[in-house]
Amino acid sequence: MAYILSVLRHLSEDDGIATLQAAQPWAQHFIGLGLDSSERGNPPEKFARLYAQARAQGLRLVAHAGEEGPAAYVRDALDLLGAERIDHGVHAADDTALVRRLAAEGIALTVCPLSNVKLCVFPDMAAHNLPALLHAGVRVMVNSDDPAYFGGYVNANYQVLLAAHPELDSGDAYRLLRNSLKASFAPAGQIAAWVGKLDAHWRAQGLDAG
C-alpha cells in the first residue's frame, strides 16, 4: 500500500513545503502529493513551488480543484502544478473546451457524489453532473471522500448515484469501475490484472460493458 501525502491549501505554501520535508523519513510510503481543504482564495498557483519540489522527488501529483472553485482552477492545477489526476473537478463542466481537453487527455476526476451534495455543490443527487461528464468521455470515477463525514463508503456513493440517475446503465457502471482502475497509480501490470478481473466478472454476469 502507498499513500498520497496531502497538504492543506488554506495554509501557506511554506507550510506545505515543511510538511513535504517532514515526511522525508517515511518517503518510501508515499507515492504522491495532494492538495486539500478550501479552494476559495487559495488558487493552484499558490503552490507552484511545492509541486515543483514534489515532482523533482518523483512523486505523482494530484489536487483538489473545481469542487467549490471554478473550472479555471482545474485548468491551472493541470498547467501550473502538473496535476495528473483531479480530485472532484465537477465544475470543469462549466467550460466545454476544458471538458474536451479532459476527455482527449484521459485526465481522471475522482468524483465524490455524497460529499458534493452534503457540501451543497449540488442541491441534490439528481442534479449531479457526473453522468454528463461520463457521457462526454471524461474519465470520471466514483469515490467516497471522507466516509465518516459524508455518510458512506464507495459502495454507498454508487448506490445513491445510480438510484438518482436511471439513465446510467450497466455499461456506464462498468466504465466508472474501469476508470477507477485505469486512473490508479499502481504498477501497470497490477492495473491490467484488475481490469482483467473486472472484465471477466462482467462477462460472467452477462452484463453490458458498453
Encode pLDDT of 45-61 as tens digits: 999 999 999 999 999 99
Q: Which residues contact 68 (CB under 8 A, 6 or more apart)?
A: 38, 39, 40, 119, 121
DSSP, collapsed to helix, strand or coil, labels residue 61 as strand
Alpha carbon dihedral 140, 73, 32, 114, in 10-degree steps, equals -50
H or E element in which residue 58 lies: none
pLDDT digits (tens, 9 = 90+) for 8-58: 999 999 999 999 999 999 999 999 999 999 999 999 999 999 999 999 999
* Mean pLDDT computed over 134-148: 91
Q: Which residues contact 112 (CB under 8 A, 6 or more apart)?
A: 88, 142, 143, 144, 145, 150, 157
Q: Which residues contact 22 (CB under 8 A, 6 or more apart)?
A: none
% the chain with pLDDT above 90: 90
In which band, very low, low, confident or very high, does the pLDDT at 149 lie, cut at 50, 70 and 90? low
Rounded to two decimals, the pTM is 0.94
pLDDT digits (tens, 9 = 90+) for 69-80: 999 999 999 999
Phi, psi for residue 191 in degrees, rounded to 5: -60, -45
Does domain 3-168 fall into CATH 3.20.20.140? yes
Strands 139-142 and 30-36, by their bridges, are unpaired
Catalytic site residues? Answer: 67
Residue 43: the pLDDT is 97
